[in-house]
Amino acid sequence: MALILDGKRVRDDILNELKPRVSRCFTVGGRAPGLAVVLVGNDPASEIYVRNKVKACEELGFHSVKVAPPDTVSTQDLLGVVGQLNRDPKVDGILVQMPLPKQVDARRILDSISPEKDADGFHPINVGRLVANLPAPRACTPAGVMELLRRSNVSIEGKRAVVIGRSDIVGKPMALLLLHANATVTVCHSKTPDLAAVSREADILVAAIGRPAFVRKDFIKPGAVVVDVGINRVAERNEAMRIFFTDEAKMEEFDRKHSLLVGDVHPLEVGEASAYTPVPGGVGPLTIAMLMANTVALAEARLGL
């Protein structure tokens, strides 16, 4: 029986470990860590993410700022919003929720965030520090995966790791973090020949491509650890039936909710893995936990702690 890697348990452990550090910011530094979230427009999924981030801030006692420009905002106006937050002494971390409207130059916006307030770890300077394995905020989802593996006693050093996906947000930083932990890393993508065969070489397989149930059993070496970063909402019954045709409980859930969350790994075909992350409840809870951890670290640095 494969071990289920419980992201909720690890999230709770990380948040509990942050509480005394937040208290120290109060007692020694004179204020709470501050996180500003910029949410442009009314995208429902983004609104849920931001709501959960604000809730986590409140539970930890953070100073929380939410800025919500309209979806007609220009690049120049949004640069002005970020500039104000860069100058705000109560703000230690800034997060601009993606995606941004088409008329906004997302790269210019992310690059305008001060590297010392880059809670997401996306600024080129912080990416460069990741490449060099120097201290800096790390991209939250890959950092969360590393915490999940370490706290679940998954050995990384000397292992063969395969990352499916090369995005700047997950795939590339994930590969670098595994490399710094002394894994031998291969990054795969849409142009990789015989993707299943390369994936089968992995002791640790990370799927981060945004395609529901794409990774099947022929991708997974028996005994591998499978990390599913994907969170895909399936809203078509035929698609849900294709994935869960033998799982009556899941189909009943689909009929109640009219949608299901599905990872990039086929949920019924991980049986020969030694351990895997479920969707939901695996990697997802750790993203916000690592955002909180990044913000606390940025606050400590700015307060001289």
pLDDT of 104 > 80? The answer is yes
Decide if pLDDT at 65 tops 90. Answer: yes
Supply φ then ψ for residue 146, to 5 degrees: -65, -40
Find, among 166, 148, 250, 161, the residue nearest to 204 by Cα: 161
293 Cβ neighbours under 8 A, 6+ residues apart: 14, 18, 143
Segment 279-292, tens digit of pLDDT: 999 999 999 999 99
Distance (Å, whole) CA 1 – CA 15: 29
Say how far apart CA 34 and CA 272 lie, in whole Å: 44
Taking the C-alpha atoms of residue 167 and residue 5, their distance in angstroms, rounded to an integer, is: 23
Residue 240: the pLDDT is 95
pLDDT at residue 59, as a whole number: 94
pLDDT score recorded for residue 43? 77
**Calpha distance 193→84 (Å, rounded):** 47
Residues that are catalytic: 53, 97, 120
Look up residue 160 and give its amino acid: R
130-141 pLDDT, tens digit each:
999 999 999 999
- One-letter identity of residue 209: I
Question: What is the per-residue pLDDT across 118-169, written as a single tens digit (0 to 9) for each?
Answer: 999 999 999 999 999 999 999 999 999 999 999 999 999 999 999 999 999 9
Phi/psi at 301 (nearest 5 deg)?
A: -65, -45
Give whole-number Cα distances, 227 to 76, 81, 89, 150, 279, in Å. 39, 36, 38, 13, 10
pLDDT tens-digit profile of 10-60? 999 999 999 999 999 999 989 999 999 999 988 777 788 888 888 999 999
Rounded Cα distance between 263 and 282, Å, is 10
Positions of E strands within 138-231: 160-164, 184-188, 204-207, 225-228
Angle formed at CA 58 by CA 56 and CA 60, multiple of 5 degrees? 70
Q: Is the whole model's pTM more than 0.85, yes or no?
A: yes
pLDDT at 273: 97
Cis peptide leading into 280, omega within 30 of 0? yes
Pairwise CA distance, residues 258 & 178, whole Å: 37
Assess whether pLDDT exceeds 90 at residue 105: yes
The overall average pLDDT reported for the chain is: 95
Q: pLDDT band at 1, cuts 50/70/90?
A: confident
The per-residue pLDDT for 44 is 75
User: What domains are defined for the chain?
Assistant: 30-115 (3.40.50.10860), 140-285 (3.40.50.720)
Give the pLDDT confidence of 231-282 residue by residue, as tens digits: 999 999 999 999 998 899 999 999 999 999 999 999 999 989 999 999 999 9
Backbone torsion region of residue 189, taken as left when φ is above 0, otherwise alpha when ψ lies between -120 and 50, otherwise beta: beta
Q: What is the pLDDT of residue 32?
A: 96
Residue type, position 75, single letter = T
